[in-house]
């Protein structure tokens, strides 16, 4: 009969050391949590996550879900999480599109376009992100006109109050468009994007796009020139060559570093607190001020960003394996 353990086996020793390291880590975490709880109790400081079921007592200015001050803290954290996901997902899409355009532009033959794209990359990636967010926020809140003199492009209004645009209304049972209109003090009707959301979205997207452009440029340069030459012999245009030949081949080089940029964008969204956008960090700060549960709220923030990062990595890993299979 084959023995369950064999110390001479390298694979068995590896598993044994891994289990030992895991046991030590669990013990350390348990000791830290227990010691912290005892110290907090000795000093008369409340601890625990029971506050999540209590009424929050504050409103959230911008939320994808209906929220009022009578709702609980866990609902407030959920609203903050949805706001974080909203700006992160839209930012990833916008940063990818802008990064693709700029990355391709840097490889083009047009001297003016190449110079503009290079200037964009050097400017946006060398100016601190926090400063860019503040500049965008000041632009939307100070430079734009007031609501009574808003800029208008068809049914779209842009003012210090944000961007207002038509939105379908399904309350009557049939799809009808709700168009914004200029009121006495504000733009009424339709849907709107707040200055805080637009400043955060543009700041994160344009900053990340500068790094994404370099990733895409490097990926395209990694494709052997013979591939483009073969496509030209077959009669493909330059745009067709880029879309059908170069980009698919460059994906295996682009996806891993691009995943890092997506992770950075998601984590950088925590700077939203600087311009007043109610993301999960902003909700946690308000909760800390009201409940004093700093350790618990920080733990929730860490758990949220860890979950978002792991989910993004897993999805991009699946896409990377799919792209590698297509290439083979």
Q: What is the pLDDT along the chain (328 residues), one digit of tens a residue?
A: 445 556 667 777 777 788 888 889 888 888 877 777 677 667 666 667 888 999 998 898 888 888 888 999 999 999 999 999 999 999 999 999 999 999 999 988 789 999 999 999 999 999 999 999 999 999 999 888 888 888 888 889 998 888 988 888 766 556 688 888 887 778 888 888 999 999 999 999 999 999 999 999 999 988 888 888 888 888 888 888 888 888 888 888 899 999 999 999 999 999 999 999 999 999 999 999 998 888 889 989 999 999 999 999 999 988 888 876 554 4
> How many residues does the structure list for the chain?
328
Which 8-state DSSP code applies to residue 72?
A: B
Contact 286, 301 (CB under 8 A): no
What is the Cα–Cα distance from 86 to 79, expressed in whole angstroms? Answer: 10
What is the Cα–Cα distance from 35 to 38, expressed in whole angstroms? Answer: 5
CA 6 vs CA 3, 17, 253: distances in Å? 7, 13, 42
């Amino acid at each position: 009969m084959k023995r369950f353990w064999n110390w001479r086996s390298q694979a068995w020793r590896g598993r044994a050391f891994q289990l030992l390291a895991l046991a030590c880590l669990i013990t350390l975490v348990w000791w830290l949590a227990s010691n912290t709880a005892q110290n907090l109790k000795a000093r008369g400081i409340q601890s625990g996550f029971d506050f999540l079921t209590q009424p929050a007592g504050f409103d959230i200015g911008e939320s994808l879900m209906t929220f009022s001050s009578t709702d609980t803290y866990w609902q407030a954290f959920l609203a903050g999480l949805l706001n974080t996901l909203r700006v992160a997902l839209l930012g990833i899409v916008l940063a990818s599109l802008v990064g693709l355009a700029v990355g391709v532009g840097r490889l083009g033959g047009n001297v003016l376009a190449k110079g503009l794209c290079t200037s964009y990359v050097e400017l946006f990636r060398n100016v601190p992100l926090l400063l860019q967010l503040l500049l965008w926020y000041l632009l939307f809140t100070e430079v734009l006109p007031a609501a009574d003199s808003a800029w208008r492009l068809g049914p779209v209004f842009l003012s210090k109050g944000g961007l207002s645009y038509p939105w379908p209304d399904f309350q009557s049972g049939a799809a009808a468009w709700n168009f914004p209109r200029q009121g006495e003090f504000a733009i009424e009707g339709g849907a709107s994007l707040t200055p805080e959301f637009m400043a955060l979205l543009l700041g994160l997207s344009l900053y990340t796009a500068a790094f994404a452009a370099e990733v895409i440029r490097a990926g395209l340069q990694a494709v052997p020139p013979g591939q483009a030459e073969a496509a030209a012999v077959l009669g493909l245009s330059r745009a067709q060559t880029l879309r059908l030949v170069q980009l698919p081949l460059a994906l295996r080089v682009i996806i891993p570093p691009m995943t890092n940029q997506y992770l950075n964008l998601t984590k950088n969204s925590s700077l939203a607190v600087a311009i007043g956008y109610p993301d999960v960090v902003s909700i946690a700060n308000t909760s800390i001020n009201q409940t004093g549960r700093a350790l618990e709220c920080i733990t929730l923030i860490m758990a949220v960003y860890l979950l978002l990062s792991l989910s993004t990595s897993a999805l991009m890993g699946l896409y990377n394996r799919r792209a590698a299979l297509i290439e083979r």
